[in-house]
């Protein structure tokens, strides 16, 4: 979900009577007054904006109304009586639902092309690749926000940032409870929807793999008949759901023979400059420099090419994707990002999220890179959170799936990650449970040139402390 990503600012204009109508609320004050921008954080710039007082388990935005007013808020959106204030007030049943309604209303009046990305893993990378592909087709006319703002707060705020100068955008849709993908798809109103992968994730809130499949596939269910559904056909569950989508187009991508956009060839293990060739339904195969690692990165680029050409009807030209990716700022930290150290070690920073599917995928990529470098593979793994009562079993089973990747050593970062170690211990692979500082010291003492270290965990583990510690002690190369 949205995690620690920075909340983007916006200048979306709304008359207050329109806000009341859109949100099914009651207005106290002038309906002709206009707010320029919607904000949910009183610490942000609230001047002239509509302040939305969100309520959560650990906070209540109503407690910060005075701060928002001191900052110059033009109007307030609230759930309860707040007494006399010097600005118009719209009162609604749920400010969270109202924020979603405002996001949808702004997206609809914007009217451009929007591509949504959902799935159990690979969403952020795929969304970044889609943004680059869109920008390749429409240079300088794409709305792009870094991070993974993919929940009921993040998605509307991303949509509210759309402006008339932009013609296209990509949004990420996440979930940790039933119905969230459908709700966010209804808010975003995508012209095309991409489903990357279906696997165990957030099972504490979503339940069984069958329920997770139904939840993620609701992206396709909620697309309009004029939209396009795109999916990774190498994933059996995605392929099945794609085949039954009731959309104008059903487009598959992947390595398999049935893919409309088929990955024909890729470099394996090449970190500095990886090439990818993608076959297309029309025109010559497209050869691109792939900025992302391994098979997951190849899927992301194939999805980006497929969705952009399908949604815009524009064939991408060689070189355009690479230039657009550079314009948008390159790789984001924490998403299987390679970091070369001065002692010849390569760290793969994948500390933003983890679940069983993404863990196996990342380890497979790290194994591929280590083999290409003729180095040893070291795994530093934190727990996969939000797996509920089945967490110990799912961690053990995930560990079992990693045994074939020839890790030289595995380090767990405490918590339920200790269950990942059991299969390695039984197989005779060196395995240690260490806290972050001790893990850094252990690695420094044992790593040698050409080794590859994958650091992966759910966001709350803060495994980036291991990455930062290695950089601090050993220094970045170059």
**Band of the pLDDT at 147, cuts 50, 70, 90?**
confident
Q: Distance between the two ends of the chain, CA-based, in angstroms?
A: 34
In the predicted model, what is the mean pLDDT of the chain? 95
Q: pTM for this structure?
A: 0.94
And the tokens for 346?
Answer: 């390569």
Q: Which domain holds residue 350?
A: 337-474
* Domain end residue (candidates: 42, 61, 93): 93
The predicted pLDDT at position 117 comes to 98
The Cα 357–Cα 347 span in angstroms is: 21
Beta bridge partners of 76: 51, 89
CATH code: domain of residue 54: 3.40.1390.10
- Residue at a domain's end among 40, 62, 93: 93
Is 401 within 8 Å of 394 (Cβ atoms)? no
Helix (H) or strand (E) holding 34: strand 34-36
Q: Say if residue 273 is in the same domain as residue 362.
A: no
For residue 272, the model assigns a pLDDT of 65
| 304 domain residue, yes or no | yes
Percent over 70 (pLDDT), the chain:
98
Q: Which residues pair with 13 in a beta bridge?
A: 36
Task: Classify strands 407-412 and 26-28 as parallel, antiparallel or unpaired.
Answer: unpaired
Note whether 140 and 206 are same-domain residues.
yes
**Distance, C-alpha 212 to centroid of its chain:** 17
Does residue 146 share a domain with residue 38?
no
Are residues 52 and 143 located together in one domain of the fold?
no
50 pLDDT more than 60: yes
What DSSP assignment string belongs to 391-447? HHHHHHHHHHHTGGG-EEEEEE-SGGGHHHHHHHHHTT--EEE--HHHHHHHHHHH-
For the segment 227-235, the average pLDDT, to the nearest whole number, is 98
d(CA 206, CA 358): 17
Determine the pLDDT at residue 3: 41
CA distance 27 to 126: 41
Q: Give the distance from CA 117 to its chain's centroid.
A: 8
Residue pLDDT, tens place only, 235-269: 999 999 999 999 999 999 999 999 999 999 998 76
β partners of residue 263: 278
Q: What is the pLDDT of residue 207?
A: 87
Neighbouring-strand partners of residue 26: 91
Number of domains in the chain: 3
Which CATH number goes with the domain that contains 344? 3.90.190.20
Do 25 and 70 lie in a common domain?
A: yes
Write the CATH number for 125. 3.40.1190.10
What is the per-residue pLDDT for 457? 97
């Amino acid at each position: 979900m949205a995690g620690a990503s920075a909340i983007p600012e916006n200048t979306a204009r709304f008359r207050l009577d329109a806000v009341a109508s859109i949100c099914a609320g009651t207005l106290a004050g002038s309906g002709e007054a206009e707010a320029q921008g919607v904000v949910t954080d009183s610490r942000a710039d609230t001047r002239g904006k509509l302040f939305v007082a969100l309520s959560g388990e650990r906070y209540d935005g109503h407690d910060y109304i005075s701060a928002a007013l001191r900052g110059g808020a033009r109007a307030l959106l609230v759930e309860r009586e707040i007494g006399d204030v010097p600005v118009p007030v719209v009162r609604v049943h749920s400010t969270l639902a109202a924020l979603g309604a405002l996001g949808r209303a702004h997206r609809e009046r914007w009217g451009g092309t929007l591509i949504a990305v959902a799935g159990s893993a690979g969403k952020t990378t795929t969304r970044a690749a889609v943004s680059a592909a869109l920008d390749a087709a429409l240079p300088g006319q794409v709305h792009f926000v870094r991070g993974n703002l993919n929940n009921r707060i993040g998605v509307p705020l991303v949509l509210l940032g759309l402006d008339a100068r932009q013609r296209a955008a990509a949004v990420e849709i996440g979930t940790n409870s039933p119905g969230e993908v459908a709700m966010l798809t209804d808010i975003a109103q995508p012209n095309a929807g991409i489903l990357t992968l279906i696997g165990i994730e957030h099972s504490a809130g979503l339940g069984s793999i069958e329920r997770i499949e139904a939840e993620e596939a609701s992206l396709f269910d909620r697309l309009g008949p004029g939209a396009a559904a795109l999916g990774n056909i190498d994933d059996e569950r995605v392929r099945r759901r794609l085949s039954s989508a009731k959309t104008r187009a059903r487009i598959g991508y992947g390595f398999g023979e049935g893919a409309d956009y088929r990955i024909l060839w890729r470099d394996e293990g090449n970190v500095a400059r990886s090439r990818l060739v993608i076959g297309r339904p029309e025109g010559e195969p497209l050869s691109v420099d792939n900025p992302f690692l391994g098979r997951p990165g190849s899927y992301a680029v194939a999805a980006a090419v497929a969705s952009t050409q399908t949604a815009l009807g524009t064939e991408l030209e060689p070189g355009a994707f690479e230039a657009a990716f550079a314009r948008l700022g390159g790789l984001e930290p924490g998403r299987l990002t390679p970091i070369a150290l001065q002692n010849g070690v390569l760290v793969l920073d994948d500390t933003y999220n983890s679940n069983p599917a993404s863990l196996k995928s990342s380890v497979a990529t790290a194994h591929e890179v280590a083999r290409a470098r003729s180095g040893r593979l070291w795994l530093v793994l934190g727990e996969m959170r939000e797996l509920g009562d089945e967490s110990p079993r799912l961690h053990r089973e995930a560990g079992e799936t990693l045994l074939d990747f020839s890790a030289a050593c595995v380090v767990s970062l405490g918590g339920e990650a200790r269950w990942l170690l059991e299969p390695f211990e039984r197989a005779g692979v060196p395995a240690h449970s260490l806290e972050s500082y001790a893990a850094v010291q252990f690695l420094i003492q044992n790593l040698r040139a050409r080794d590859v270290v994958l650091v992966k965990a759910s966001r709350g583990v803060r495994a980036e402390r291991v990455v930062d510690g290695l950089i601090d002690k050993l220094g970045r190369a170059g």
